[in-house]
Structure 1
C-alpha cells in the first residue's frame, strides 16, 4: 500500500551547477595564441625599431608638437561647447529668425569638409586683405592686416572650433529635448525665466545625455588636430613626419605618435567615465558596467558584475 504524500515538506537542497560556456574557453585559447604571436613579433622584429622609439619618445620636437596638439584640443573644444550651447538654444527658440540662423550655420559647417574650412580660414586674406572695425557702410576706425591677424594658430582654432560647434549644437539639442517638458513648465510656474530654467533645471538634467557624446567628440578632436598639417601648423603628427622625412625611420616615429595618442585617449576615456558616473548618480541605469576584462572572466564564478 502506497504511503500517503507528505504535504508542506521542504525539498532537499541541491548544489546549483553553473552554465558551462565551452565556446568562451575556445575563444580565450585562440586569443591567447594570437596574443603570444603578436608579442613575439613585437619583440623579435627589428623593423619596429624600438631603440629609435625610445630615443624620440620624449624628444623636444615631439613634446613641442604634443603640447600644440593639447592646446588646440582644449581650446577648440571650449569654442565648440560654448558655441554649441548657444546654437542649440537658438535652434530651439520659438523665434524663427534665431532658429533659422542656427539652422543655416549647422547646414554650412556640417555640410563642408573640415580640411576645406581650415584652408578657407588660412587663405582668408585672399578674399579680404584687410579687416576693419567701424560703422557699416561708413568710416573705418581700426584696420587690421588679415595676414597678420589670422595666424596659422588662429586659423586652426577657427576651423576646428567653429566646425565642432555645429556638431555640439546637435548633441546639446538632443540632451535638452531629453528632459521632460513638465520640468520647464514647473519651473515657469515657480516664476523662473527661460534662461533660469535652462541653467538651473534643464541643463543639469540634460548633462547625463550630453556627456557621453561630448567625450567622444573630445577624443575625436584630439586626433582631428592632425589635419592642421594642411596649413603648416606643427602638431604631434606633423612633428614626427618632419623627423622621419630626414632620418627615414618612418615606422618607429609613427609608433611614437601612436603611443602618445593612445595615452591621451586613455586618460580622456577615464575622465569621461568619472564625469558620467557623477552626473548619473541617483538615476536608474547609470553607467556602472564592469570593464571588459572583468566581464570576460565573470562566467567562471557565475557572479554578476557591476
Structure 2
C-alpha cells in the first residue's frame, strides 16, 4: 500500500510538472519573450550626447579659448611651483586632520564625561565658524600672543619663541585647514566605529581582550570600510579647498595662475590650466581611494560577489544531478 501510494504520488508530481512545463511559453518559437523597449532611455541618452558633444565642440573650436596660451603655460615654472605647494598643503593638512579627528573621535566615545564635553565643544566650534575666519585667526595669532612660551607655574620660563617666526603663512594654512577638517573627521571616525556590531565588542571583552587590542584587531579593521570612502572624499575636497589660502598670500596653484593672468589678461586660458591640474590630482586621489576601498572590502566582496553565485551554481548542479538520477 505504501509503495503504491508512493508511486501514485510520484506520478502525480510528474504529471503536474509536465502540465506546468507545457503551459510555459516557448523561447524558441513565435511565443518567445520579447524584452521591453526603453525608448525614453535612448532618447535621453542621445539628447545628452548631442548637448555634451556640442558644448565640447564649441570649446575646442572657439578662438577666444586661446588653447595656444593654455599649452604654453601648462608647465610654466610658476604653475609647477603652485601645484607643488597645493600638494604639500593637501598632504600636511589631511595628516593633521586625520590625527586630530582620531583624537577627538576617541574622546567623544570615551566613558569620561569631561572628555566627551571637551570633544563635543571643540567639534562644535570648529564646524560652526567659517574656514576663512580660522585661517585669518591663525595668521594673526601674534597680535593675541606675541610670544609662545612654556614656563613652570610661579617659576622660570623654560623657553619662549616669537609667534610670527613659529607660525608663518604655511603653518597658519596647515593649522587652519587641518584643524577645521579634523572636526569633520572626528564625526567620520565616530560613525565608522559605531557601525560595528556591538555584540563583537561584548564577545571580545568577555574573553578578556583589552580595549586597545579590541580596537586594533576587531573594531578598526571593520570600521575602515565605512571610514575610507568619506575620508577619500574629504581629501579630494581638501585639494580644492587649499585655494582659499589666497587670503593669507600663499602662492598655491590658483593664486599662481591668477598672478599670471593679472599680467597678460588671459583669464580663461589660465583658468583652464588650473582646471587641468586639479583634475589630474583629483583623478589620482580617486584611483587611490578605489584601491583602498577594494583592500578593506575584500571580505565583503568575497561574501557577496563570489560565494552567493557559487552557492547558486552548486544548487543548480545538485538539482540537475537529481533530475538525471530520477530522484
TM-score by length of 1: 0.88
Report the equivalent of 2:161: 144
8 Å CA contact 1:240–1:253 kept in 2: the answer is yes
Cα distance 1:286–1:222, how it changes in 2: closer, same or farther (>3 A)?
Answer: farther
8 Å CA contact 1:280–1:287 kept in 2: the answer is no
Q: Does the alignment pair 1:185 with 2:180?
A: no
Q: 2:79 aligns with which of 47, 59, 62?
A: 62
Greater fraction of residues in helix: 2
Cα distance 1:170–1:137, how it changes in 2: closer, same or farther (>3 A)?
Answer: farther
Q: Does the alignment pair 1:117 with 2:130?
A: no
Report the equivalent of 2:225: 208
Q: Deviations over 1:144-192 (max 9, x none)?
A: 0111111111111111111111100000000000011111112212222
Report the equivalent of 2:26: 13
- Which SS does the other structure have where 1:206 is aligned? helix
How far is the alpha carbon of 1:248 from its aligned partner? 0.6
Q: Deviations over 1:257-303 (max 9, x none)?
A: 01111111122112212211221122269998xxxxxxxxxxxxxxx
How far is the alpha carbon of 1:35 from its aligned partner? 2.5
Distance across 2 between alignment mates of 1:216 and 1:197 = 28
Report the equivalent of 1:38: 55
How far is the alpha carbon of 1:16 from its aligned partner? 3.1
Report the equivalent of 1:79: 96
Report the equivalent of 2:193: 176
Report the equivalent of 1:300: none
Q: Does the alignment pair 1:252 with 2:269?
A: yes
- Segments of 5+ residues of structure 2 without an aligned counterpart are 1-14, 306-327
Q: 1:238 aligns with which of 250, 255, 258?
A: 255
Q: 1:133 aligns with which of 150, 154, 166?
A: 150
Distance across 2 between alignment mates of 1:85 and 1:277 = 23
- Segments of 5+ residues of structure 1 without an aligned counterpart are 1-5, 289-306
Q: Deviations over 1:21-42 (max 9, x none)?
A: 1011111221222133113211
Bigger Cα displacement from structure 2, 13-22 vs 92-101: 13-22
- Which SS does the other structure have where 2:299 is aligned? coil
8 Å CA contact 1:276–1:287 kept in 2: the answer is no
Distance across 2 between alignment mates of 1:217 and 1:139 = 44
Q: Which has the larger radius of gyration?
A: 2
Distance across 1 between alignment mates of 2:84 and 2:256 = 11
Cα distance 1:137–1:115, how it changes in 2: closer, same or farther (>3 A)?
Answer: farther
- Which SS does the other structure have where 1:282 is aligned? helix
Q: Does the alignment pair 1:26 with 2:43?
A: yes
**CA RMSD between the two structures:** 1.8
Bigger Cα displacement from structure 2, 25-34 vs 60-69: 25-34
Distance across 1 between alignment mates of 2:178 and 2:53 = 43
Cα distance 1:214–1:287, how it changes in 2: closer, same or farther (>3 A)?
Answer: farther
Runs of 4+ in 1 over 3 A off after TM superposition: 9-12, 284-288
8 Å CA contact 1:76–1:161 kept in 2: the answer is yes
